[in-house]
């Protein structure tokens, strides 16, 4: 429901971003010269355009020269100096190595390499299932585990989930890190944070209903299987 409202009233707009962060040598003088160059280019005034094109290149070259000169001059420790040198000579990304594919073939294509890895990781679980080298969860024997847990719990001890408080939920939504990825619902943390005053109340109701009824969203359902690590293997 929230995704439908977002698609209708706040649709995603694609916008071309040249660069998220400009280099430190990029200054207001360069911005002005580039704007003048682009303006005369759009107007078709070629004489003025050529002047500002050459002027822009000259300003950029001088700005870079002064910036790197001062950086080397102010490098008081090896770390800063190496940072300066690496910025002048950035690492070149190597092309991927050959990857062996099916039928003893090899490929250097980035797409083929990505598809090969994707096919492997998406099919390995199914291959293990076909080989029958594991015990399905619905056929596993957890009687020893249940007995062990019951022996550790006292009769007067009870496990309960307290109801969700709307103010606490609102505070948690307001603290979300907007730089994190979206969850399984494809709703980004920035949207949740901005819409917190409007969705805190309905979300509180939904969460408390799930706690009261014991019925949770299918996306949140999972089967947890204990895995033996070390110690006495009782079960």
pLDDT digits (tens, 9 = 90+) for 26-79: 899 999 999 999 999 999 999 999 999 999 999 999 998 898 888 878 777 777
Does any domain span residue 234? no
Is 180 a domain residue? yes
Around 40, how many Cα atoms within 13 Å sit in the side-chain half-sphere?
17
* Whether residue 82 is found in the same domain as residue 99: no
Average pLDDT over residues 13-22: 69
Highest mean pLDDT among 103-112, 198-207, 213-222: 198-207
Q: Does residue 3 lie in a domain region?
A: no
Euclidean distance between CA atoms 192 and 101, whole angstroms: 43
Is 197 domain-assigned? Answer: yes
In 3D space, the residue among 157, 170, 158, 159 whose CA is nearest the CA of residue 207 turns out to be 170
Q: What's the domain count of the chain? A: 3
Please say whether the dihedral angle defined by the alpha carbons of residues 196, 197, 199 and 203, taken in this order, is positive or negative: positive
175 contacts: CB under 8 Å, gap ≥ 6:
none
147, 114: one domain: yes
- Mean pLDDT, all residues of the chain: 80
Q: Average of pLDDT values for 157-185? A: 86
Q: What pLDDT does residue 188 have?
A: 87
- Say how far apart CA 131 and CA 126 lie, in whole Å: 9
Boundary-marking domain end, from 109, 138, 158: 158
Q: Are 56 and 33 in contact (CB under 8 A)?
A: yes
Higher pLDDT among residues 137 and 186, named by residue = 186
- pTM greater than the 0.75 cutoff: no
- Give the range of the structural domain holding residue 74, as residue numbers without chain letter: 24-88
pLDDT given at position 53: 94
pLDDT of residue 201: 93
Confidence at residue 149, expressed as pLDDT on a 0 to 100 scale: 76
Do 184 and 150 share a structural domain?
A: no
The pair of structure tokens assigned to 159 is 């496990």
pLDDT tier, 235 (very low <50, low <70, confident <90, very high otherwise): very low
On whether both 83 and 119 belong to a single domain, the answer is no
Percent of the chain whose predicted confidence (pLDDT) is above 70: 82
Which comes out higher in pLDDT, residue 235 or 39? 39
């Amino acid at each position: 429901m929230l995704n439908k409202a977002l698609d209708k009233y706040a649709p995603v707009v694609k916008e071309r971003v040249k660069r998220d962060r400009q280099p430190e040598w990029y200054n207001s003088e360069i911005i002005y010269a580039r704007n003048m160059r682009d303006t005369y280019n759009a107007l078709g005034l070629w004489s003025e355009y050529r002047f500002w094109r050459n002027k822009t290149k000259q300003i950029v070259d001088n700005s870079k020269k002064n910036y790197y000169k001062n950086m080397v001059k102010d490098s008081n420790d090896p770390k800063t100096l190496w940072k300066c040198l690496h910025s002048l000579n950035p690492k070149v990304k190597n092309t991927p190595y050959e990857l062996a594919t099916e039928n003893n073939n090899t490929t250097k294509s980035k797409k083929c390499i990505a598809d090969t890895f994707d096919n492997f990781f998406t099919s390995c679980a199914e291959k293990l299932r076909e080989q029958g080298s594991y015990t399905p969860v619905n056929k596993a024997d957890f009687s020893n585990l249940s007995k062990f847990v019951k022996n550790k719990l006292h009769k007067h001890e009870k496990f309960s989930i307290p109801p969700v408080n709307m103010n606490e939920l609102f505070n948690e939504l307001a603290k979300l890190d907007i730089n994190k990825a979206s969850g399984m619902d494809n709703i980004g943390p920035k949207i949740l944070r901005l819409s917190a005053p409007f969705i805190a109340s309905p979300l509180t109701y939904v969460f408390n209903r799930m706690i009261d009824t014991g019925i949770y969203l299918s996306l949140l359902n999972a089967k947890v299987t204990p895995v033996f690590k070390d110690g006495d293997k009782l079960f």
